Chains A and B, each alone.
Chain A
């Protein structure tokens, strides 16, 4: 209750502020605020808000949006995520620490709500497994490579013995004499020898064989295997090829399964580490994508209206900082803040602009901003009053007409009113990005008005 009340308090103050400006009239409003030449309040309000905004974004980037798939509430445009961001901002403004705010969300949603769960308990698996896989894979590769090297050394030393025995050499002749004659028998013998060789390796590793015996047996089997292979090859090869002297074909080395396994696990580990690191990293506002962006960062999905131009925002803030009476800059800044959903500073600069020139036609835009700010906190009636103020100053103020339609349609359940506001908007507004959106809304409102 208290939390909700605290959040509502700020909005209520805003409503009161608006009512002071709107109802009591410009004269009273002017008296109630600091003199026009002091830029300090606006400046510090904006600075405070910018810092708050940054801290909000930092926390929001760590919280998972409940209605999305793997998006933070910073990245998600959904209504619930917007509300959660607002809650984060309000709690920060109320002086809560980031840890307290995270605890609040964990209390409601469980640890699930953290995009990067704390490294303890079962969660540790995610942190440790890649490392363990990497170590395991490294070990397998190391063992395999060591064996390779040893085999290479043994093969190099006895290459004359293990290579295809030349016909006529006593050893070759001896082996050939006991070789089986038929093709299937040869193949079976070859398979048996392969099995025997790999079992020798295992027996050596298990300590069942002495090194000497191993070397002896291995050389014997390898020699026979080479002979069997040569015999097989001769049978398969066309006679012409068989007649030609064979280049000394060393037994083809097959990649041992352990290396395949090891290599696979290492590759998997590397990919896992890289992608996990990317996907659990905290994103900032500049890089609002969860996970690694492969293939050139495309422009972000367009939000409502054109994207906010940061340079334009900065230059407007600079103009207002230099001269807090820069009427045009104040109005434009209010517009940008509103689009960024930064209601507090949007209200500050819009009210400021209205105070500077209460009866100017252009101040209608300021009132339109106030209407949207009030509407965002569900204050429908005051929002509509602000719209009326805006339209009194300028009956063709496009923003006021646009917002009037939105508030009537979504807030006051008055689709007919929305239809006439939006029809008027389409008449007076210069065609732009909003036009298509308004046409769509207009269509929906017309159907509902029927």
Chain B
């Protein structure tokens, strides 16, 4: 049997395999280099008028959520954030919203209707968004007690993602948690009451 009859189709095989593999991938999803790295620090003025600094939140688990009032998926994930805030705040979860390409007025109105009493930073010029490699909203970063980004979620959050990461990071004691560390006697859920 001629080797060419086998070799020529075989040479094409890797190309076809590569293309076939490419079809299974979503080109719009780009792996972020950020997870595993220290979260870039920020100091933003907040919607409420005060300011918020990431360095001040060291020792807490931070859920950094980029959102906008014009963003429909943000609407979808918002109740999850409200519930997470109620449920885990006392155990050391701090949600920080970042208003992305939106006016403070619109953001305030949106929050007034839907709740969300955690701090919301303003990001004029999208500086922080760019530093966090944002593609759009909503995007959420889970930052552990040591200030390291552990996970980045693109798109609306799901209950699974929130509870998995928040409980994992809250339980992670590798970073020295300050005095706010809850004792195990504390109720696990306040949301149920």
Contact = CB atoms under 8 A, between A and B. Distances in A.
A87 B42 CA distance: 16
A109 B31 CA distance: 8
A80 B129 contact: yes
A67 B106 CA distance: 22
Given A108-B130, A108-B132, A83 B125 contact: yes
A198 interface: yes
Contacts of A107: 33
Contacts of B3: 202, 206
B134 interface: yes
B21 to A, nearest CB: 13
A288 interface: no
B105 interface: yes
A83, A206, A258: residue with the most chain B Cβ atoms closer than 10 Å: A83
A3 B43 CA distance: 11
Contacts of B106: 413
A83 B130 contact: yes
A86 B125 contact: yes
Given A67-B135, A413-B106, A1 B43 contact: yes
Contacts of A377: 124-125
Interface in A83-111: 83-84, 86-87, 105-110
A411 interface: yes
Given A67-B136, A199-B2, A206-B3, A110 B124 contact: no
A110 B127 contact: no
B39 to A, nearest CB: 12
A4 interface: yes
B41 interface: yes
Interface residues of B, number: 30
A108 B125 contact: no
Contacts of B135: 66-67
A274 to B, nearest CB: 20
B34 interface: yes
B103 A87 contact: no
Interface in A252-267: 257-258, 261
B178 interface: no
A76 to B, nearest CB: 13
A127 interface: no
Contact of A110 (B4, B31, B109, B129): B31
A110 B133 contact: yes
B32 to A, nearest CB: 7
A312 interface: no
B103 A411 contact: yes
Contacts of B132: 108
Nearest to A2: B41
Interface string B94-105: 000000010101
B8 A378 contact: no
Which residue, of B3, B130, B131, has the highest number of chain A Cβ atoms within 10 A?
B130
Contacts of B103: 410-411, 413
A45 interface: no
Interface string A367-410: 00000000001100000000000000000000000000000001
Contacts of A257: 8
Contact of A412 (B30, B105, B125, B129): B105
A343 to B, nearest CB: 12
B116 to A, nearest CB: 18
**Shortest Cβ-Cβ A-B pairs, 3 listed:** A413-B105, A202-B2, A108-B133
Interface of B: 2-4, 8, 30-34, 41-43, 101, 103, 105-106, 109, 124-136
Interface of A: 1, 3-4, 7, 66-67, 79-80, 83-84, 86-87, 105-110, 112, 198-199, 202, 205-206, 257-258, 261, 377-378, 410-413
30 contacts: A1-B42, A4-B42, A7-B125, A7-B127, A66-B134, A67-B135, A67-B136, A79-B101, A80-B126, A83-B126, A83-B127, A83-B129, A87-B127, A105-B130, A107-B33, A108-B34, A108-B131, A109-B30, A109-B133, A110-B30, A110-B31, A112-B30, A202-B2, A202-B4, A205-B4, A257-B8, A258-B4, A377-B124, A413-B105, A413-B109
Given A4-B131, A377-B124, A413-B106, 11 more contacts: A4-B43, A7-B127, A66-B136, A80-B134, A87-B125, A87-B127, A108-B130, A109-B30, A198-B2, A202-B3, A206-B2
